[in-house]
Structure 1
């Protein structure tokens, strides 16, 4: 399990921008917010005590500040893995934009929910969306036809 967890954690850390890396610890969202619930459980992190989770978060911050930028620019394997964190799909049913806590059910079976406030109204036919991690390690959904983007979190 350690062999599969370390590359995932390394990739997660590498997706954080330098501004976040230099932020105070209280600004770091924590590993529990960087992963979906399913990823968090699959990695076994739900079994950690609060103090163990805090230690992991402190290690991630420290590791990121010291080594992540070098690895990000030098590791072809990590660059390829980073490029794969991209989901292209269509919203099932009519796509009418988002209104605060909108749930997006995709044709690939995934379910995402709006995590940031904001409203966008759409009355066209195009239901294509692109989901990818932003520089802070959070997911964003972009409506392909309009280029409008909103923060989302995976529910299923």
Structure 2
């Protein structure tokens, strides 16, 4: 679904807007109800075309900013940050949940320690994990546990 929206937005950007295409483009970007709430129904065809172009430009700026934010540079030192925005791995062995300072060894040989206090018992053998950037640190989401918990890389 996301790729369809993206292709549509790219097509809209490179299309010269006629009255009909501006209406269609705006209709596909913003629901009729929301257009009415925003007063788009009072705009001329040219103004509607400009709004559609603006929405696409804002989308592209957001997409570029998202790509930049996803590029995490690894600081120097043994306990550096991961080199990608999301790490997918598995816990090496059993997981008994979060106890406050839980240390987790992953199958990719990284070792992470819990930094955010959270207690939750959950037994699992080699559950999958996702580690992602959140604010100024990282969060680990363990398969079968609802809450993602703050962690830092030890090795």
Q: Larger radius of gyration, structure 1 or 2? A: 2
TM tier, smaller: 0.3 to 0.5
TM-score relative to the length of structure 2: 0.47
Which one has the bigger helix percentage?
1
Structure with greater contact order relative to length (CA < 8 Å, sep ≥ 6): 1
